[in-house]
Amino acid sequence: MESHLSPPEKKKRVFSLIQPTAMPTLGNYLGALKNWKEMSELNDCIFGVADLHALTVRPEPAVFRRQSLEIFAMLLSIGLDPEKNIVFVQSRVEQHAQLAWILNCYTQFGEASRMTQFKEKAAAHEENVNVGLFAYPVLMAADILLYNSDFVPVGEDQRQHLEITRDIAERFNQLYGRTFTVPEAYIGKVGARIMSLQDPAKKMSKSDLNPKASVSVLDEPEVILKKFKSAVTDSEACVRYAEGKDGINNLMAIYSCCTGRDFPAIEKEFEGRGYGDFKTAVAEAVIEELRPVRESYLSLMKDSGYLAACIDAGCGKARAIAAKTLAKVSKKVGLLV
């Protein structure tokens, strides 16, 4: 992956959010969260919980409230430092919803209709195709543009949403003069799309109903080992990266993300060895990768006072930046400010 980590004198603004729909999977972790942690060392980072986006699926209120808190704790558990970075909750910074409304008026119905995620989710949930689901990418654009973000680390599935964000920003800048920074997606090459362990043609997803298909960041070591042992592979019994070997390719990507080894090195390491050995090695690498995250999470969740104070402080810092951008935009479009 091309490195966008900037020298301290010229820090880049990095921004991303995650929905509190369920505990993150290994896919979320390797495709997004691990990059967040790495980028947070050298950049000016803002990360948070996209609870307004999650409302599109109408979650059960008590579960939703608990999950939002859990995901916030998870962001600290992956190693984000709330003193050095901003870690916040989207709905607590009211400027997100306000800018989203304004940007709705600068987004065409046609371009929003072309969003693949909207079409897929609308087809999968015919009973609840709400306007929020349709306007979802515009709220995401508002999130990103409020903070003049340079880079947005996401998995491959969010690339199209970054493109519409750029289009909206450029359109607004053309109409009213330079207002927004036009952001770039930051997508890792390996790990950008971790696949289901049971159906490697499908991405690993938090909302998959088959528990064997995905690994949660909080899974216990024995559970992780079991899930990898039952991962779907092929009958060739040779660890090599090749077309048509989706299951093995996926396990190689996971192993590569956790050990830093590239594909030729992995092929060499497992030359002449069977899939059983390889699966155990992948599971062990994942267990070691996730161990500190799980331990830190379990201890943080015992300290609700600390968590509440972190949320308040993070939202306060986020609001100060967001309010400035919203005031500038409101003035430009002619609202009475």
Residue 99 interacts, among ligand ATP, ligand LTN, none and using kind-specific CB cut-offs from 5 to 8 Å, with none
State which of positions 27-56 bind ligand LTN (CB under 6 A): 50, 53
Instruction: Single out the residue of 153, 143, 138, 179 nearest to residue 12, CA to CA.
Output: 153
Residue 87 bridge partners (DSSP): 47
Does 193 bind ligand ATP (CB under 6 A)? Our answer is: yes
Task: Give the range of 97-105, 126-134, 150-158, 271-279 binding ligand LTN by CB under 6 A.
Answer: 150-158
Minimum Å gap between C-beta 91 and ligand ATP is 16
Does 256 bind ligand ATP (CB under 6 A)? Our answer is: no
Neighbouring residues of 317: CB distance < 8 A, sequence distance ≥ 6: 86, 88
Residue 47 interacts, among ligand ATP, ligand LTN, none and using kind-specific CB cut-offs from 5 to 8 Å, with none
Residue 193 interacts, among ligand ATP, ligand LTN, none and using kind-specific CB cut-offs from 5 to 8 Å, with ligand ATP
Task: Give the range of 21-29, 140-148, 176-184, 267-275 binding ligand ATP by CB under 6 A.
Answer: 21-29
Instruction: Give the nearer residue to ligand LTN in terms of CB position, either 216 or 233.
Output: 216
Q: Angle at the Cα of 141 (from 140 to 145), degrees rounded to 5?
A: 120
| Euclidean distance between CA atoms 14 and 93, whole angstroms | 18
The sign one gets for the Cα dihedral 91, 96, 101, 106 is negative
Residue 257 bridge partners (DSSP): none
3-state secondary structure at position 184:
strand
Does 192 bind ligand ATP (CB under 6 A)? Our answer is: yes
**Is 121 assigned a catalytic role?**
yes
Does 17 bind ligand LTN (CB under 6 A)? Our answer is: yes
Task: Give the range of 16-24, 127-135, 222-230, 317-325 binding ligand LTN by CB under 6 A.
Answer: 16-24
Minimum Å gap between C-beta 255 and ligand LTN is 24
Q: Which of 11, 121, 212, 317 is catalytic?
A: 121
Task: Report CA 309 to chain centroid distance, whole Å.
Answer: 24
Q: Which of 34, 37, 203, 279 is catalytic?
A: 203
State which of positions 151-170 bind ligand LTN (CB under 6 A): 152, 154, 158
Does 73 bind ligand ATP (CB under 6 A)? Our answer is: no
Tokens (6 digits) for 97: 């919803």
What is the distance between the terminal CA atoms of the chain, rounded to a whole angstrom?
44
Instruction: Single out the residue of 8, 16, 31 nearest to residue 204, CA to CA.
Output: 31
| Euclidean distance between CA atoms 11 and 247, whole angstroms | 39
- HEC letters along 273-299: CCHHHHHHHHHHHHHHHHHHHHHHHHH
State which of positions 276-335 bind ligand LTN (CB under 6 A): none
**Number of residues that make up the chain:** 337
Tokens (6 digits) for 237: 């019994």
By CB under 6 A, the count of residues binding ligand LTN is 13
Minimum Å gap between C-beta 163 and ligand LTN is 13
93, 322 contact by CB (below 8 A): yes
**Is 206 assigned a catalytic role?**
yes
| Euclidean distance between CA atoms 222 and 85, whole angstroms | 34
Binding residues for ligand ATP (CB under 6 A): 18-19, 21, 25, 27-28, 31-32, 154-155, 157-158, 192-194, 203-207
User: Which residues contact ligand LTN by CB under 6 A?
Assistant: 15-19, 50, 53, 140, 143-144, 152, 154, 158
Catalytic (active-site) positions: 121, 203, 206
